Chain A
């Protein structure tokens, strides 16, 4: 038991080995003058900026604002996407009515709507929420639909033979069967969530991480710019780890998630 725990810990740590080596190399390159400070600030400077901004409370506030935006946009877009995925997966009528339209809209890069969104909402919260929700909607929708359509028809027939009601059939056969695909959608959506937010905040915002980075650029504070980018990377990793945890908890039955 203890051995397994140590193994898991070691495997988790292994993933951080490469980033650590990269940071050390980067610091060394900066110190030796191989990389000019005007191109990239050394990690030590980024760390200093981190401590400075943390002490002033600016960092926590901006992270808070961005996270809230990301999560609310995700909740809105994700739940609408999930609802459409369910409806279109379960009802042919609904699919016939809406799928074509949704597939057309899907092919518009949602970031191309930024000018329009600014015209509609200005640079207020709605603009960011709208863009994040729109970006998150499609991966969730497409994968939920795919997951439901991919449920083994033999299992559905089995459920019906054993007299499952529509509700039981949904809860015990369709939803669990669609779950692996839904998780794929969820992880895609989390990536798109951050991506959209960064772009939106960089272009039009008065608070948040993207805004912080743009402000720092104005004042040539390259250490803060790099700090923002690193924080995005960490937040993205955090969101992905959370999705993986959920996956592990709900997909225990799946051979891929069973201890070898």
Chain B
């Protein structure tokens, strides 16, 4: 991360967590003061040699928002996510994550592959998410709790090789969430799953996001998935933001409603330059 700016005025931000869990309705009619920012990208550019992958991305994401980033293959959306997660450094521009009262501003990333350690049992794999944070009994309890959230508490002592693809991805999700990250970056985590498992995983992801209140950034090329999950869809094209569209649909959302179809159409039109 290039810059971590101090914004002490955001110190009350965690109070919002206590708000009753009556489904977040998007768009939030923003009363002043505006919710604090989870992160802010300013003029982010990334070049690999001669190839410009990102070219001046500006994006402010308020805390707790679910943003989906969509684009064609090679549009730079994964690179954007890697920069956000601190895996790559931008060639130009700054990433700002305001430091507030929260003890840590951890970000986690989840990939298309589960990347579980095949030689560690499911429980130990989840505990990897607590490296340097908790150990022993504490780590064991925390990981069992989060495994319960993803519906795999009874599999904690099994090897990853006996799980199905969807279950492995649920373990990876548990590992990413066990330390309660502030930002969760998701790099097409459902891309390799079959259609039914995908929908199941989307619902799980939405439920856990509503419970844990983290900021989620989902990179996907599935327009329906983006509209089903996100508060806001950002379309990236040739390294720039081509569309920034709020998704003002109440949750839980239904697949295939007229409103979803209209929004999906709008995004697809932009993606294929018909907009």
Contacts and interface: CB of A to CB of B under 8 A. Distances in A.
Interface string A191-202: 000000000000
Contacts of B111: 154, 158
Interface in B117-142: 117-121, 128-129, 131-132
Contact of B118 (A161, A163, A254): A254
Given A163-B131, A163-B132, A164-B131, A176 B87 contact: no
Contacts of B131: 162-164, 168
A219 to B, nearest CB: 54
B38 to A, nearest CB: 19
B209 interface: no
A31 interface: no
B85 interface: yes
Contacts of B87: 157, 161
B264 to A, nearest CB: 32
B62 to A, nearest CB: 25
A162 B162 CA distance: 24
A258 interface: yes
How many chain B residues sit at the interface, stated as a range, is: 20 to 34
Contacts of B160: 253
Given A252-B159, A258-B161, A162 B117 contact: no
A176 B115 CA distance: 15
A154 B159 contact: no
B109 A161 contact: yes
Contact of B159 (A164, A168, A258): A258
Given A162-B131, A163-B132, A168-B131, A154 B115 contact: yes
B113 interface: yes
Contacts, number: 49
B120 A253 contact: yes
Contacts of A253: 118-121, 159-161
Interface in B99-120: 108-109, 111, 113, 115, 117-120
Contacts of A158: 111, 115, 128
A155 B117 contact: yes
Interface residues of A, number: 21
Contact of B120 (A164, A172, A251): A172
Interface in A148-186: 154-155, 157-159, 161-164, 168, 172-173, 176-177, 179
Nearest to A177: B119
Interface string B172-195: 000100000000000000000000
Query: Max chain A CB contacts within 10 Å: which of B108, B115, B119?
Result: B119
Nearest to A161: B109
Contacts of A163: 131-132
A169 to B, nearest CB: 10
A159 B161 CA distance: 19
B113 A154 contact: yes
A155 B119 CA distance: 12
Nearest to B121: A253
B85 to A, nearest CB: 7
Interface string B222-247: 00000000000000000000000000
A159 B109 CA distance: 12
Contact of B117 (A161, A176, A254, A258): A176
Contacts of A33: none
B113 A176 contact: no
Query: Max chain A CB contacts within 10 Å: which of B85, B113, B118?
Result: B118
27 contacts: A154-B111, A154-B115, A155-B115, A155-B117, A157-B115, A158-B111, A158-B128, A159-B128, A161-B85, A161-B109, A162-B128, A162-B129, A162-B131, A163-B132, A164-B128, A164-B131, A172-B117, A172-B128, A176-B117, A176-B120, A177-B119, A179-B119, A253-B118, A253-B119, A253-B120, A253-B121, A258-B159
Please provide the 8 A-B residue pairs with the shortest distance between their CB atoms, ordered closest to farther. Answer: A176-B119, A253-B119, A158-B115, A253-B159, A255-B161, A163-B132, A162-B131, A163-B131
Interface of A: 154-155, 157-159, 161-164, 168, 172-173, 176-177, 179, 251-255, 258
Given A172-B120, A253-B119, 20 more contacts: A154-B113, A155-B115, A157-B87, A157-B115, A158-B115, A158-B128, A159-B128, A161-B108, A161-B109, A163-B131, A172-B117, A176-B117, A176-B120, A179-B119, A252-B159, A253-B118, A253-B120, A254-B161, A255-B161, A258-B159
